[in-house]
Structure 1
């Protein structure tokens, strides 16, 4: 049976020491049993390695930074759609999702580009700043969290939270602080990079376990694969991990996906304590950078998302293989300066 030809736009090409999900998503799509996929890469920086991975990415266009707003994004995508026939777009950065969610209906009606994204309400309710309410609503343990906009508020929180505590950005980055001085330094680092608010969170000790999952938006968990981190970088990123058999973790994940009617891919990050209690640290509204492990475990989440974006019925995956490991590695590509110049000057390549 010949595969169907489709074109998919994918962002998150920053396959660096703190990698984006774009390249793993593309690798999963290239292994699709149903689709022959042409990939349009969307980049924000000119040194994102995925731009130059020609065996995976067929064409690249730069997008305006998310801070430019949804109208600028739509204008740029209108230009790109005049050149490329894009069937589906999979955005992979937290910071860009708000704009894509805002214009997802227009993309479909005006440009015939499908997406499969959460609703604005679902996206907002799982924000790190809303974690306490989220945990209460969906009956899942969460660490105590507070939002602050001024460093002076940190002192007041010391009555409620003990050190160490975690200082987090709204979208990315987290610092474990063992003193007021370290917490202050973390606060300023977060503000300089991601702005306000800053989240101050209770530090829960235990084992980090994460789940990559996908929901159909109607209360069905289409797929889920849990993983324990084996090697963590100084940025807190998993450099290797192993898929787990953990019925309790899967039950919690399904409950959250089903009750929230989550639509699209996501990652749930947990701490499992010595008492076998699970604390949800955050729910990321897109595939994680380690989503390719799901392929190795028998679940192609990227392919399932594309099918649902195209309006096709997808049955939940029956199971997954535990004991499968991923090991990340760095790799030097040699590229010609003319390629860098082209993406830098024209915004496409």
Structure 2
């Protein structure tokens, strides 16, 4: 099926939680509708209050899917049921925690007629927070020192090596800058309770935060790179406003990462430029970021390009993007009827 077909391209998308720490789903959908035109969007939600499920101008139909902790068999059975109804052509997962399962079942999805364009488990593990320090050393990429710990008492020794301030990070999400042992222990207990252990303790790098959204073709080439500097950051560290910038050194870091990993699909580099201009990769997110629509607005529609690659269509590397494009996120009270919430909660679809 192609974008010029009279039949819509049916695309499943997760990550519909457009909250103060938003998932990428709604932004991905916005880019797909703009870049591909005739599409039918199937929302795949974990919870009944994910706002994207109720935005009917963007999402045509929403289904509950089981949490990643339910395992791959539950995921396959649910997607088989959805597929008999919707006949999805492509599926785009947008959460870190769900990627392992989706990668594992990608061959089964293909037999159902569902295309994906995902990294391998080996690629996923290589950039994991737990392995990022070793990855940086292996490929000569600048990465802050970090330690993985399982017990709060380990913080004392780690602090002697890294010094305060330090950054304490959850296994999947969240990070806190700490300035003493009491703050470090409080952060450890909070993050371990929420995301499990190990907890990552990372060297603090002072500087300017920059994010880079990029798209790898799985053969070592980067087809799209758009850097963004944060203009406004929430108390959770999320970009609430940002601007596209031009910097060849940032583009080269993204190319180096893709070449080293042969990354397949979208990814985001969280980079810190220190006071000496040195670029540190603080984190690698293995999927599109929540601000991904900015790439489309700047002239490089990464979600649309990913769909084409998933379908085996050729995609030429993007060469230019518009510098000085600003996004500003805002809150909007979407009003719906309780009957919609009840339908999604009770029957698992809306």
Moved over 4 A (4+): none
Aligned counterparts of 1:133 and 1:36: Cα–Cα separation in 2: 44
> Which of 25, 50, 58 is the equivalent residue of 1:22?
25
TM-score where L is the length of structure 1: 0.98
Match of 1:76 in 2: 78
Match of 1:64 in 2: 66
Match of 2:234 in 1: 233
Aligned counterparts of 1:69 and 1:2: Cα–Cα separation in 2: 33
> Which of 11, 16, 21 is the equivalent residue of 1:13?
16
Displacement after TM superposition at 1:112 (Å): 1.1
> Which of 97, 100, 120 is the equivalent residue of 1:98?
100
**Contact 2:3/2:9 (8 A) holds in 1:** no
Q: How does 1:233-272 map to 2 (within 5 A)?
A: 233-272=234-273
Displacement after TM superposition at 1:2 (Å): 7.7
CA RMSD of aligned residues (A): 1.1
Cα shift readout 1:172-196 (whole Å, capped 9, x = no counterpart) = 0001111111111111111111111
Displacement after TM superposition at 1:3 (Å): 3.0
Q: Secondary structure at the match of 1:240?
A: strand
Aligned counterparts of 1:318 and 1:282: Cα–Cα separation in 2: 25
Cα shift readout 1:305-331 (whole Å, capped 9, x = no counterpart) = 000000111110011111110000000
Q: How does 1:293-332 map to 2 (within 5 A)?
A: 293-332=294-333
Match of 2:225 in 1: 224
Displacement after TM superposition at 1:259 (Å): 2.2
Structure 1 portions without partners, runs of 5+: none
Cα shift readout 1:135-166 (whole Å, capped 9, x = no counterpart) = 11222111101101111111111220111101
Aligned counterparts of 2:49 and 2:61: Cα–Cα separation in 1: 15
Structure 2 portions without partners, runs of 5+: none
Aligned counterparts of 2:146 and 2:306: Cα–Cα separation in 1: 32
Match of 2:276 in 1: 275
1:127 aligns with 2:120: no
Displacement after TM superposition at 1:257 (Å): 1.0
**Contact 2:267/2:287 (8 A) holds in 1:** yes
Cα pair distance change 1:311/1:231, threshold 3 Å: same
Aligned counterparts of 1:35 and 1:335: Cα–Cα separation in 2: 26
Displacement after TM superposition at 1:72 (Å): 0.9
